[in-house]
């Protein structure tokens, strides 16, 4: 690296401060290094240069953000508020450069300054503010909302610690805290002036107000403050910059002083701890809530902050709440923010004096709810006792909502006690529980599933009674992914080839990928396509050598399963297949087998025993297979540690085969399946989630299907599933299970995997045993297909060409039309210099806090 970057900047008056010429950008980089980082070229580290670059990009975002906010305000537009406990946004620098159209100029400006963009991109900490698919979906949606020029705000929590960092030690997962903010975050802007108060605990008191109406007053015990931090979200190829507003919890100084002066120092400190713990750490459990009090505190905290903020914004332009549902659409991303239904009721009634019926009408016309899971254990329920201690007023409101709702059910279905029990917001039992999915459904105008099969199962199984009562409420919105991050950014060579052939219209209209079908018979095109895949496999191979010490064959099939580790996702079924291949080679060492590199990756929730055992199993199988001379490198197994958005962007494009092998009826949609296919991997999968629709789009002949259907899974369960029968009747499967039981893969601790064996033979809730043979047979078809590289490449091209449906732009356009009823708002931009020669203060906005 040149030791003297920025040294040829022309010093002249440059008033186009957010301009995008190379000269202006070089000047800005030098200024930001000097004035913000407080360094010059003699002292700056790479991180300083990264920060200087990030601030340079942020200035351009801020300029567009202010213009966007002004336009929304002036036109009093309807705004989408997307409430999500997780936003797994990935690194921002590259995204912002590309969406702003600054990439080439910045690249040049850095080069002329003696810096390398790739080095700086690597300095950025990834904000891991989510567990997996649900949080990543929220991030793709934010990108698509901005790209489609839709007025939108994302609301969530600014966790101080995101999803843990994963290390693999001795084959086991070890977790490390993710202190992502330790070096500062250049992308966010704190807004202490929009701080809000959130109350917890205490009790309620009833009273009669001046007009003689019965009312309830919440006398809370603790007040916590929420400070918003705004991250700009630019659309691709437009001037729109929306906001992701994340809340950080703080104790109030005042509050501490009050208690402190009263002489109770320890209570003052513990109140401070209570407050500041709230946004401390992301819960690392995916798809299985733990019912922990802190989790409910987090949910209520960010929902209350967000609703107060939404109301503040609305009341800037309105005197009554009559138009609220016409200006505000609130989407609940799963039930994590479902407490919002009760909180909006509380705010409207207790704080703004509305009548119950009016408030209820507004609430139901404002909220919509997205269901994300069919797993019974993943449906959020809160014990009434815990809930009432923390949110006594909300418990009252939920009881009132439930009372009216059950009265309606009773008159609709007289004498049907089963209906009342099944549909109540309160689950009876030893400990009464609040069913958050029911609250979300009753309080929303629309409920949606995230893939066609998922929505069908919601209607037929999960929420059958609700669907029967309100069929018009239920919709499907099949998930999607943003093609900017998941193709343009993650796979530049493939993007370039596509653009060379069909133009760049696909970036805003992914259906245009269809035009690639015209090139499928072009041998030169296929050769380039294949070369790009090979280059990406080489990069991943280098990574595996560096990080795993594993030397893999880049011509082998890269067979990849990266996603959270969960029993329903069946990583263990994949491992059983690996063992089967291994046994076949051992039985016949000269077997002509298609070489494979089987790559796993994913985090297990720290308290999820079986998921952690799956990681250990994979690594134990890898130890045996990778080191057996009989295998002679024909199959190799690798576990990619610390799977993240960045690692995904690196790995999806290197895959030949995408493993989407969940038990049918369990994966709501999946989005990893889409990322693989968009990067030219072929899928082996069950008829589950969006796999069904991917197969419909790409054609059955370009998809490797196996396994029971969701209906067959239910039927088999109903008949009485006996996994042992598969063991007894299938010698190859029996051998694999016996090896696990005998300690073949864990010689130092022979009984290590007995827990897996015991589960598979006696329970096997996710039916690995039932699907084993179908999976192994299908994998053999995959291997045979891979022998014909030219035809494989054709299938790969056709997969990409037919992925248009799975753009999150399509998903968001459907939400806008069919649920939110919002329209795009075009943002015009003038240059900063023309607008801001100097301050022209007209009125000073009063401070909110
Ligand atoms: C896309 C993505 C997921 C979701 O993957 P699935 O295969 O759909 O479960 C999870 N984590 C990260 C980091 C992702 O990018």
| Ligand 1 pocket, CB under 6 A | 88, 132-133, 136, 563-564, 644-645, 648, 670-672, 675
CA of 644 to the centre of ligand 1 (A): 8
- CA dist., res. 217 & res. 349, Å (int): 10
What SS3 state is found at 237? coil
pLDDT band (50, 70, 90) for residue 269 = confident
Cα(39)–Cα(815) distance, integer angstroms = 47
DSSP H helix total and E strand total for the chain? 34, 23
* pLDDT of res. 502: 98
Q: What angle do CA 150, 151, 156 make, to 5 degrees?
A: 110
Query: Which of 14-23, 37-46, 425-434, 544-553 is least confident?
Result: 14-23
Among the residue ranges 31-35, 265-269, 391-395, 561-565, the one predicted with the least confidence is 265-269
**Cα–Cα distances in Å, from 634 out to 557, 594, 639?**
10, 7, 17
Pairwise CA distance, residues 636 & 619, whole Å? 11
Active-site residue flag, 533: no
Question: What's the CA gap between 403 and 586, in Å, rounded?
Answer: 66
Q: Which of 661, 665, 649, 673 lies closest to 806, judged by CA?
A: 673
Instruction: Please report the pLDDT score of residue 835 as a whole number.
Output: 55
**Contact (CB, 8 A) for 577 and 775:** yes
Question: If you take atom 12 of ligand 1, which residue's CA is the nearest one?
Answer: 132
- pLDDT at position 830 is 73
7 pLDDT exceeds 50? no
Q: What is the pLDDT of residue 8?
A: 45
Question: Please, which pLDDT band fits residue 13 given cuts at 50, 70 and 90?
Answer: very low
Tens-digit pLDDT profile for residues 473-487: 999 999 999 999 999
Look up 671 and say whether it is catalytic.
yes
The percent of residues in the chain predicted with pLDDT above 90, rounded, is 90
Residue tagged 């200024």 (tokens): 31
Nearest CA-CA partner of 211 in 344, 354, 397, 399 = 354
pLDDT at residue 180 is higher than 80: yes
Ligand 1 atom showing the smallest separation from residue 674 Cα: 8
Tens of pLDDT, residues 115-148: 999 999 999 999 999 999 999 999 999 999 999 9
* HSE-up (13 A, CA, CB side) for residue 464: 7
Statement: residue 2 has pLDDT above 60:
no
Q: Is 485 an annotated catalytic residue?
A: no
Q: Indicate the average pLDDT of the chain.
A: 94
Instruction: Give catalytic status of residue 176 as yes or no.
Output: no
At 92, is the pLDDT very low, low, confident or very high (cuts 50, 70, 90)?
A: very high
Q: How many CB atoms lie within 10 A of CB 265?
A: 11
Domains annotated on the chain, with CATH? 76-91+126-476 (3.40.50.2000), 485-708+771-803 (3.40.50.2000)
Give nearest CA residue, ligand 1 atom 11: 132
773 vs 216: CA distance, rounded Å: 62
Is the predicted pLDDT of residue 11 greater than 80, yes or no?
Answer: no
- In degrees and rounded to multiples of 5, residue 119 shows phi and psi of -60, -40
Distances (CA, A) of 57 to 1, 51, 105, 294, 578: 22, 10, 11, 36, 47
Q: What CA–CA distance (Å, rounded) separates 426 from 433?
A: 6
For ligand 1, pick from 672, 673, 689 the residue to mutate: most ligand atoms within 8 Å of CB: 672
The candidate with the shortest Cα–Cα distance to 660, out of 630, 626, 695, is 695
Q: What is the pLDDT of residue 847?
A: 65
Measured at the CA of 118, the angle between CA 113 and CA 120, to 5 degrees, comes to: 65
Taking the model in full, what pTM does it have? 0.96
At 48-78, the pLDDT tens digits run 999 999 999 999 999 999 999 999 999 999 9
* Average pLDDT over every residue of 370-394: 95
Q: Residue 385: its pLDDT value, please?
A: 97
- What is the Cα–Cα distance from 659 to 670, expressed in whole angstroms? 11
Q: Is 59 helix (H, G, I), strand (E, B) or coil?
A: helix
Distance 656 CA to ligand 1 centre (A): 17
CB count within 10 Å of CB 238 equals: 21
**Comparing 264 with 568, which gets the higher pLDDT?**
568
Would you say 792 and 32 are in contact if contact means Cβ atoms under 8 Å apart?
no
The pLDDT assigned to 614 comes to: 98
pLDDT tens digits along 18-43:
888 999 999 999 999 999 999 999 99
Phi, psi at residue 186, to the nearest 5°?
Answer: -70, -15
Beta strands in 692-762 (DSSP E): 704-705
Instruction: Give me the catalytic one of 27, 372, 536, 603.
Output: 372
Question: Closest Cα to atom 3, ligand 1: which residue?
Answer: 133
Mean pLDDT across 747-771: 98
Which pLDDT score, from 0 to 100, does residue 252 have? 73
In this prediction, residue 213 carries a pLDDT of 87
Catalytic residue among 58, 577, 675, 802: 675
Label residue 254 by pLDDT band (50, 70, 90).
low
**By the 8 A CB rule, do 514 and 499 touch?**
no
811 tagged catalytic: no
SS3 449: strand
How many angstroms is it from 126 CA to the middle of ligand 1? 15
**Is the model's pLDDT at 14 over the cut of 50?**
no
Rg (CA), the chain: 28
Contact in structure between 800 and 677 (CB atoms under 8 Å): yes
Q: What is the pLDDT of residues 337-363, one digit of tens each?
A: 999 999 999 999 999 999 999 999 999
Residue 257, pLDDT above cutoff 70: no
- Strand, coil or helix: what is 536? helix
Of the chain, the end-to-end C-alpha distance in Å amounts to 48
**Residue corresponding to tokens 């045993």:** 769
pLDDT at 3: 41
Percent of the chain with pLDDT over 70: 95
Mean pLDDT across the stretch 625-633? 96
Catalytic pick from 65, 158, 533, 563? 563
DSSP secondary structure, 563-618, as one string: S---GGGTHHHHHHHHHHHHHHHHH-TT-----EEEEEE-PPPTT-HHHHHHHHHH
For residue 652, the 8-state DSSP code is: G
Residue 285 pLDDT > 80: yes
In this structure, what token pair is assigned to residue 564? 């959270």
The answer to whether residue 5 scores a pLDDT higher than 50 is: no
Nearest-angstrom CA–CA distance, 575 and 549: 21
Cβ atoms 143, 482 nearer than 8 A: yes
User: What is the predicted pLDDT for the residue at 479?
Assistant: 98
Best of 564, 611, 662, 668 for a ligand 1 pocket test (most atoms within 8 Å of beta carbon):
564
Best residue among 139, 671, 689, 806 to mutate for probing ligand 1's pocket (most ligand atoms within 8 Å of CB) is 671
User: Distance (Å, rounded) from C-alpha 712 to C-alpha 766?
Assistant: 12
The yes-or-no answer on residue 563 being catalytic is yes
Q: What is the pLDDT of residue 834?
A: 52
């Amino acid at each position: 690296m040149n030791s003297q970057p920025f040294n040829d900047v022309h010093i002249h008056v440059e008033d186009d401060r957010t301009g995008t010429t190379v000269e202006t950008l070089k000047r800005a980089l030098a200024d930001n290094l000097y004035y913000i980082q407080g360094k010059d070229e003699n002292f700056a580290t790479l991180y300083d240069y990264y920060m200087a670059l990030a601030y340079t990009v942020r200035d351009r975002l801020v300029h567009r953000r202010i213009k966007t906010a002004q336009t929304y305000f002036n036109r009093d537009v309807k705004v989408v508020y997307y409430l999500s406990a997780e936003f797994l946004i990935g690194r921002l620098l590259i995204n912002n450069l590309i969406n702003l159209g600054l990439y080439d100029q910045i690249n040049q400006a850095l080069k002329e300054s003696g810096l390398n963009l790739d080095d700086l991109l690597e300095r950025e900490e990834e904000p891991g503010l989510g567990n997996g698919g649900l949080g990543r979906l929220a991030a793709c949606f934010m990108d698509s909302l901005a790209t489609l020029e839709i007025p939108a705000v994302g609301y969530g929590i600014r966790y101080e610690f995101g999803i843990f960092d994963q290390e693999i030690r001795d084959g086991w997962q070890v977790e490390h805290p993710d202190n992502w903010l330790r070096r500062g975050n250049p992308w966010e802007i704190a807004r202490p002036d929009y701080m809000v108060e959130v109350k917890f605990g205490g009790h309620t008191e009833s009273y009669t107000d001046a007009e003689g109406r019965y009312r309830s007053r919440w006398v809370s015990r603790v007040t916590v403050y929420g400070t918003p931090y705004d991250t700009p979200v630019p659309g691709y190829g437009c001037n729109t910059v929306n906001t992701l507003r994340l809340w950080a919890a703080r104790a109030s100084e005042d509050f501490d002083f009050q208690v402190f002066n009263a002489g109770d120092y320890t209570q003052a400190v513990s109140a401070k701890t209570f407050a500041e713990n709230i946004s401390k750490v992301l819960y690392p459990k995916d798809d299985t809530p733990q019912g922990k009090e802190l989790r409910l505190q987090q949910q209520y905290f960010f929902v209350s902050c967000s609703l107060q903020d939404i109301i503040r914004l609305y009341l800037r332009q309105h005197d009554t709440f009559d138009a609220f549902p016409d200006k505000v659409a609130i989407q609940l991303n799963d039930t994590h923010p479902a407490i919002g239904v009760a909180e909006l009721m509380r705010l409207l009634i207790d704080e703004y004096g509305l009548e119950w019926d009016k408030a209820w009408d507004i609430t139901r016309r404002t909220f919509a709810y997205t269901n994300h899971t069919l797993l019974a254990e993943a449906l959020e329920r809160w014990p009434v006792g815990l809930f009432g201690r923390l949110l006594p007023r909300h418990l009252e409101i939920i009881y009132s909502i439930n009372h009216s709702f059950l009265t309606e059910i009773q008159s609709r279905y007289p004498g049907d006690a089963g209906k009342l029990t099944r549909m109540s917001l309160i689950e009876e039992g030893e400990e009464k529980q609040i069913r958050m999915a029911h609250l979300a459904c009753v309080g929303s105008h629309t409920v949606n599933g995230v893939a066609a099969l998922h929505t069908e199962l919601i209607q037929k199984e999960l929420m059958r009674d609700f669907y029967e009562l309100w069929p018009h409420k239920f919709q499907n919105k099949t998930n999607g992914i943003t093609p900017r991050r998941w193709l343009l950014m993650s796979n530049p060579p493939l993007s370039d080839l596509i653009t060379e052939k069909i133009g760049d219209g696909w970036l805003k209209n992914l259906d245009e990928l269809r035009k690639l079908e015209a090139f499928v018979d072009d041998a030169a095109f296929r050769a380039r396509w294949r070369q790009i895949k090979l280059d990406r496999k080489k990069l991943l191979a280098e990574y595996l050598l560096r990080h795993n010490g594993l030397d893999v064959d880049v011509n082998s099939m890269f067979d990849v399963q990266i996603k959270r580790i969960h029993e329903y996702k069946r990583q263990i079924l994949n491992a059983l297949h690996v063992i089967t291949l291994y046994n076949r080679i051992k039985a016949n060492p000269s077997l002509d087998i298609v070489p494979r590199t089987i790559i796993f990756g994913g985090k297990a929730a720290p308290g999820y025993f079986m998921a952690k055992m799956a990681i250990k199993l994979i690594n134990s199988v890898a130890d045996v297979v990778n080191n057996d001379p009989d295998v002679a490198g024909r199959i190799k197994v690798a576990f990619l540690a610390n799977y993240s958005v960045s690692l995904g962007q690196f790995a999806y494009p290197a895959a030949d085969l995408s493993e989407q092998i969940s038990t049918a009826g369990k994966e709501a949609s999946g989005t990893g399946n889409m990322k693989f296919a968009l990067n030219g991997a072929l899928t082996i999968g069950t008829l589950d989630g969006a796999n069904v629709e991917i197969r419909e789009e790409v054609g059955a002949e370009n998809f490797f299907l196996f396994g029971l259907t969701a209906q067959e899974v239910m039927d088999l369960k109903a008949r009485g599933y006996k996994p042992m029968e598969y063991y007894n009747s299938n010698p190859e499967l029996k051998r694999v299970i016996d090896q696990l039981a005998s300690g073949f893969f864990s010689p130092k601790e022979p009984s290590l995997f007995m827990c897996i064996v015991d589960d598979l033979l006696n329970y096997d809730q996710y039916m690995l045993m039932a699907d084993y043979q179908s999976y192994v047979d299908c994998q053999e078809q995959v291997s045979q297909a891979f022998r014909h590289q030219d035809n494989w490449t054709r299938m790969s091209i056709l997969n990409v060409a037919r992925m248009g449906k799975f753009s999150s732009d399509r998903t968001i356009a459907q939400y806008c039309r069919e649920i939110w009823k919002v329209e795009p708002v075009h943002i015009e931009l003038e240059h900063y210099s023309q607008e801001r020669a100097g301050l022209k203060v007209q009125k000073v906005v009063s401070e909110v806090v």
